[in-house]
Structure 1
């Protein structure tokens, strides 16, 4: 693994340049920020979407191509499987089941099921009236996807709306699918953003300014569980070229961690650009990485008001991951780290190591801080 850039050459007087990416994150006056000990308790962006290279959203289904005049029809439903992809290889789906800012002839909001896989080789949409929204309807719809496209049922389904957890979980359990609450449904989130612009706003029943019935949660951060405590942490950075190496070697080098399909997400960054991250050091790095691996880590953010770092996992869980003493230097450093994240379109990472100077990680997560979808 490439060495994490700790910026030790500028320990005593870090040069913060919030508008650039060559920042010296890291140590403060020669001493790293300290992560809370188990015995110690904490005291009480506008993201500009990059080009999202979808498969042909209005492309042909496996069984019958759509007619040309249907391609721009916002009322049309989609049932597509990339013919070059082995159906047996698609074992995880991403799912949204929610109302849309569209009214039917009764003046009631239309609901929509949207399903894809993380590569968008699978794309499925179906509209529903609001009086049939239940787990039976969803279960039958999921089964019909397999029947129509010749797909096996997936092993896992990820979804990001906590208000739909009961319905989605019940439908998945009855089909023998493992439901996973997670905001790492990035292909789905970006596809929904794209559909809002190209489909929903063009629908004859579209209601401008209408808000989703199911707003996403942003709860007050909780105390960190004891098993997730580390010993030290530091703001760090890695060149994008090294990030790509880490992501490509995740399956062979680490037992714990997660990457992102950067090509699919349309993330184009020069190889020498420094990507901000957080390094956590602990003598129990492997057990800590193992615990983190089951949490569906979403993002890390600096909370300036609380002088803390907030770890977001799952769909609505936020932890106070660490705190720091407010000084002009620490405030500047935290602000610079967030500015670097914003400059990278929300891209950042979390690395768990035995020591901050180590070149190896026990776990590595590439993260993308996205705003909620417009629907």
Structure 2
């Protein structure tokens, strides 16, 4: 599995002796087998300090990540420059599920124990981007699938995911869900499955969402990706059209199933419905 780090560099709800918020660098890998916590002096909040820390982490852990994901728009320039100075590849992306959970944990268990603590932030890493702030783009014509299906897998079935035949994949820990939780997913079928999966890996998929336009009744399956991208996966004119009625009902059921699964779902890509191999497979979570 490729080494990917998730990073946050920001102030925390704790005041230092000078009554100023402390600044903290958090870095983890996707499984939290590697965690790095370092407080930053308030007069050194810059890309040079960050680059020094990144180089230290590489030396201490022996890891050189393929990419460093982060999502902190107000710090994007400093984080990007710091990664570049350390010879690393920064990627602004909302796919920082592990980091977000870790920060929530620290907000509940770590910061309240520190002298100077102010108040816990209920949303310490805001990942949601208002729908109106992102324009929707179609998936490139050459990569559009020939069909799709909505299916479900039990959470405990993902325990054997390491044995599945997958070309491009990214999963995360589901141990916080009960084994019998049904995880909904969308499978796209394409005769160009591998190029489509490679493209999907490049856009860093975050979550799928089925939406309906209240004005004309049209519906769409959308893919939110990267820091601020949205892609049109499927388009339906109206639930009254016979060919669209079942698909729209499936899309609505997909959203209901997501809510029951703590917004966890998946996206898979296969050559055809009879294939046992996956060109791509991603666990996703609506943020």
What TM-score do the two structures reach when normalised by structure 2?
0.81
- Is 2:146 aligned against 1:231? yes
Which of 367, 370, 374 in structure 1 is aligned with 2:283? 367
* Cα distance change, pair 351–152 in 1 and its aligned pair in 2 (3 A): closer
- Larger CA deviation: 100-109 vs 325-334: 325-334
CA distance in 1: counterparts of 2:23 and 2:13, whole angstroms: 9
Aligned to 1:23: none
Does 1 or 2 have the higher relative contact order (CA < 8 Å, sep 6+)? 1
* Contact residue 347 and residue 369 of structure 1 kept, 8 A: yes
Query: 1:148-167 maps to which residues of 2 (within 5 A)?
Result: 149=60, 151-167=62-78
- Is 2:206 aligned against 1:291? no
* Cα distance change, pair 249–241 in 1 and its aligned pair in 2 (3 A): same
* Cα distance change, pair 361–298 in 1 and its aligned pair in 2 (3 A): farther
CA distance in 1: counterparts of 2:125 and 2:63, whole angstroms: 30
Which of 10, 21, 33 in structure 2 is aligned with 1:109? 21
Aligned to 1:126: 38
* Contact residue 347 and residue 366 of structure 1 kept, 8 A: no
* Contact residue 221 and residue 310 of structure 1 kept, 8 A: no
What TM-score do the two structures reach when normalised by structure 1?
0.64
CA distance in 2: counterparts of 1:133 and 1:108, whole angstroms: 13
- Is 2:261 aligned against 1:344? yes
Query: 1:307-346 maps to which residues of 2 (within 5 A)?
Result: 307-327=219-239, 332-346=249-263
* Cα distance change, pair 244–146 in 1 and its aligned pair in 2 (3 A): closer
Q: Secondary structure at the match of 2:107?
A: helix
**Structure with bigger gyration radius:** 1
Normalized per residue, the structure richer in helix is 2
Aligned to 2:136: 222
CA distance in 2: counterparts of 1:191 and 1:370, whole angstroms: 17
* Residue segments in structure 1 that go unaligned for 5+ positions in a row: 1-88
CA distance in 2: counterparts of 1:195 and 1:320, whole angstroms: 36
* Contact residue 170 and residue 281 of structure 2 kept, 8 A: yes
RMSD: 3.0
